[in-house]
Structure 1
Amino acid sequence: MSAARDAAVNGALLRVTGLSKSYRGPQGPLPVLRGVDLALAAGTSLALMGESGSGKSTLLHLVAGLDHADSGAIRIDDVEVTKLDDDGRAALRRKTLGVVFQQFNLVPSLTVGDNLALQARLAGRYDCDWRDALADRLGLSALLDRYPEQLSGGQQQRVAVGRALAPRPRLLLADEPTGNLDEATGDAVLDLLLELSATAGAAVLMVTHSALLAAKLDRRATLAGGRLAL
């Protein structure tokens, strides 16, 4: 039995079935995903790999409800993401998902402390002690009153990781989260991301081009020709 089927049989947190997505091109529809199946159990991690343009980020954005699939289904717990309206998908991102992008996407007018708390406040699950624990583990405790422009790239990405984990999400989605960092800083940020995700009880689906970083996760899958190979 494949890892995906095994996860599905044992009650996967994330289940993707027959997912297809095309974009409009000058010569007509350009297929990106062709019937992708994927399952991810709670508390586990999966690295999504593939060449540039293979559809990795597209798949992640579909799971996050940031784009619409042409066909297929995405279920997170008992919620079918592909049937939600815009408000429903926004609520899912607030309450169930944590998202970390390659671009840090911090709010420049908020301090580090307020950026860390933002997602948890929106979800109605702000926990001061957990925020402080995240800040301490991420090496941000002395920086809580600073603004994003006063931080290095590595520090900003640590804030982004902490913000995503502050509401204790069920599923953390990370799109090349270390792509803008040097190798040593990227390794440290990813180690913290995985450690803190485990502490928060979150499953992790991460897009990466790095085999070395992917090896740190529980499983690896490769997108090629619009299909997923586990």
Structure 2
Amino acid sequence: MLDVQDLKKSYSGPQGQLPVLDGVSLRLEAGSSLALMGESGSGKSTLLHLVAGLDQADSGAIWVAGQSLAGLDEAGRAAFRRDRVAVIFQQFNLIPSLRVVDNLAFQARLAGAVDSTWLDWLTERLGLQALLHRYPEQLSGGQQQRVAVGRALAVRPPLVLADEPTGNLDEESADQVMALLLELVQQAGSSLLMVTHSNALAARLDRQLILKAGRVHGSAV
């Protein structure tokens, strides 16, 4: 599902080029999950952004569901993000002017892949039926992140990327969102790559890797 080969990425700074990723390679099989851990600044979010096509690597290769990201222009990367991956952010990133019902269906509509039966099931399983006509500002943090999870999975993407998806939630809400995310990823048949600082959350995924000094190291838990 995901094949990352010898990925390198640097950014320009006052002291010159700052290497963030220095030859990262990893694989994620279809239907499996992988937790990516490491200290702040270790390159976790950078790697996620590269896999999502939000940024471009200096060198190396990324393949997602059989598609190479190499050589894609901006339109090609946008189509890739629409059809092949879904990203769940720490900050929810819901559209404030849209009601819950429209936020849930947003990516599916962009992809031309609205499945009303699947959306109805997601809405029920996420406990959002009574909230469909509210706006994001009228929801708690946990409710907003459940909407973000539903939006990501509405298209049943081959790959779900999650960047600290419970980082802004209290412990109880975080546990609820994480349990739902793992269940629904499995139901959708998606693979999951998740960045987290939590050993407890990482242990709930199939595999764990650590990024340190721009390189991948072994299991964290």
TM-score computed with the length of structure 1 as normaliser: 0.94
Query: Does the alignment pair 1:39 with 2:27?
Result: yes
Match of 1:138 in 2: 126
Q: Which amino acid aligns with 2:168?
A: N
Alignment RMSD, CA only?
0.6
Q: Which amino acid aligns with 1:65?
A: G
Q: Which runs of 5+ in 1 are unaligned?
A: 1-12
Task: Map 1:15-164 onto structure 2 (within 5 A).
Answer: 15-164=3-152
Separation of aligned partners in 2, 1:210 and 1:77: 28
Query: Does the alignment pair 1:225 with 2:210?
Result: no
| Helix, strand or coil at the partner of 1:126 | coil
The question of whether the paired residues in 2 share the 8 Å contact of 1:148 and 1:156 is answered with yes
Residues 76-115 of structure 1 deviation map (CA, whole Å, 9 limit, x = unaligned)? 1221113211111111111111110001110111110000
Residues 8-40 of structure 1 deviation map (CA, whole Å, 9 limit, x = unaligned)? xxxxx1000010000111110000000000100
Separation of aligned partners in 1, 2:108 and 2:150: 10
Query: Does the alignment pair 1:209 with 2:209?
Result: no
Match of 1:3 in 2: none
Shift of 1:124: 0.8
**Greater shift in the superposed pair: 25-34 or 75-84:** 75-84
Shift of 1:183: 1.1
Separation of aligned partners in 1, 2:172 and 2:203: 16
Separation of aligned partners in 2, 1:115 and 1:128: 14
Match of 1:7 in 2: none
| Number of matched pairs | 218
| Helix, strand or coil at the partner of 2:70 | helix
Q: Which amino acid aligns with 1:214?
A: A
Match of 1:14 in 2: 2
Q: Which amino acid aligns with 1:128?
A: S
The question of whether the paired residues in 2 share the 8 Å contact of 1:65 and 1:82 is answered with no
The question of whether the paired residues in 2 share the 8 Å contact of 1:104 and 1:160 is answered with yes
Shift of 1:187: 1.2
The question of whether the paired residues in 2 share the 8 Å contact of 1:48 and 1:207 is answered with yes
Match of 1:173 in 2: 161
- Show structure 1 runs of 4+ deviating over 6 A: none
Query: Kindly, what percent of the aligned residue pairs are identical?
Result: 68
Q: Which runs of 5+ in 2 are unaligned?
A: none
Q: Which amino acid aligns with 2:32?
A: T
Q: Which amino acid aligns with 1:60?
A: L
Residues 143-188 of structure 1 deviation map (CA, whole Å, 9 limit, x = unaligned)? 1011101000000000000000000000000000000001111111
Q: Which amino acid aligns with 1:50?
A: G
Separation of aligned partners in 2, 1:39 and 1:127: 30
Q: Which amino acid aligns with 2:173?
A: T
| Helix, strand or coil at the partner of 1:157 | helix
TM-score computed with the length of structure 2 as normaliser: 0.97
Match of 1:8 in 2: none
Separation of aligned partners in 1, 2:139 and 2:170: 15
The question of whether the paired residues in 1 share the 8 Å contact of 2:65 and 2:84 is answered with no
